[in-house]
């Protein structure tokens, strides 16, 4: 059995098991296989094992990889998106996870109007409040959310976070809980559904699912160690 297929099966089993244990329907939890730094061949192997959703975080690599793979692949852009790259990324990305400022959301909306698309996005929240990280602070997002929800083109489907890394996933649980609480608050305050919570990676996706994740972004545990730095 090939390694990627075997690892995918293990991850799917773990997702189902933890979802059930948490009283959730495993079908509510989507798996984004983070293929950044891995070649198209690795993505193809995962597709042969039934995987469809893939995550990339660098525009150049993303643009090069997409044409090498079947149209059935569903691409998620999970990196920091620079404004001058929006036009290239929009037609290829089914979901943009890292919309980290109102300015970026407005720029995406304007370009989407020009090219005739209705991009689905997640707003990135810096739940740990670290100065150096991308993303809205929870307070900033509360203040900024209303106009973002009424953009004519951009479809805000939920929230995403990348908590600070920690060896013990339990140390990350409070950040996941905070993202979910923020989402629940925003849903109540804006009367808008925000169904997607993108949180959890190889080391902590089970805790994220217990705290309500609907999309987990798993790279290393499926594809192995990355070929190059992704920083």
CB of 203 to ligand PLP, least distance (A): 6
Cα dist. 112→89, 153, 188 in Å? 11, 6, 28
Part of the chain binding ligand PLP (CB under 6 A), chosen from 13-21, 144-152, 177-185, 199-207: 199-207
Q: Which residues contact 101 (CB under 8 A, 6 or more apart)?
A: 136
- Tell me which stretch binds ligand PLP (CB under 6 A): 42-50, 106-114, 126-134, 200-208: 200-208
Report the C-alpha gap between 200 and 219 in whole angstroms.
11
Q: Rounded to the nearest whole angstrom, what is the least distance from the CB of residue 66 to ligand PLP in the complex?
A: 17
In angstroms, the CA 122 to CA 107 distance is: 15
**219 touching ligand PLP, by CB under 6 A:** yes
Residues 76-105 that bind ligand PLP (CB under 6 A): 78
User: 76 and 95 in contact (C-beta within 8 Å)?
Assistant: yes
C-beta of 61 vs 230, nearer to ligand PLP = 230
Q: What is the dihedral of CA 43, 47, 52, 53, to 10 degrees?
A: -20
Q: Which of 35, 51, 57, 214 binds ligand PLP (CB under 6 A)?
A: 57
Q: Which residues bind ligand PLP (CB under 6 A)?
A: 34, 36, 57, 78, 162, 201-203, 217-221, 230
């Amino acid at each position: 059995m090939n390694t990627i297929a075997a690892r995918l099966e293990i991850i799917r089993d773990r997702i189902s098991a933890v979802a059930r244990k948490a009283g959730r329907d495993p079908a509510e939890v989507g798996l984004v296989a983070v293929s950044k730094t891995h070649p198209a061949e690795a993505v193809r192997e995962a597709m042969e094992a039934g995987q469809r959703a893939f995550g990339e975080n660098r525009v150049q690599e993303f643009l090069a990889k997409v044409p090498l793979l079947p149209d059935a692949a569903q691409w998620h852009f999970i990196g920091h998106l620079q404004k001058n790259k929006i036009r290239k990324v929009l037609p290829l990305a089914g979901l943009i996870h890292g919309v980290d400022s109102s300015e970026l959301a407005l720029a995406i909306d304007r370009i989407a109007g020009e090219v005739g698309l209705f991009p689905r996005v997640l707003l990135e929240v810096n739940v740990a409040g670290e100065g150096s990280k991308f993303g809205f602070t929870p307070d900033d997002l509360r203040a900024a959310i209303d106009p973002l929800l009424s953009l004519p083109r951009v479809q805000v489907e939920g929230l995403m976070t990348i908590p600070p890394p920690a060896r013990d996933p339990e140390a990350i649980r409070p950040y996941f809980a905070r993202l979910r609480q923020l989402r629940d608050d925003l849903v109540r305050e804006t009367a808008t559904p925000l169904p997607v919570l993108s949180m959890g990676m190889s080391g902590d996706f089970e805790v994220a699912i217990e705290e309500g994740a609907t999309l987990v972004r798993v790279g290393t545990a499926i594809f192995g160690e990355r070929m190059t730095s992704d920083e």
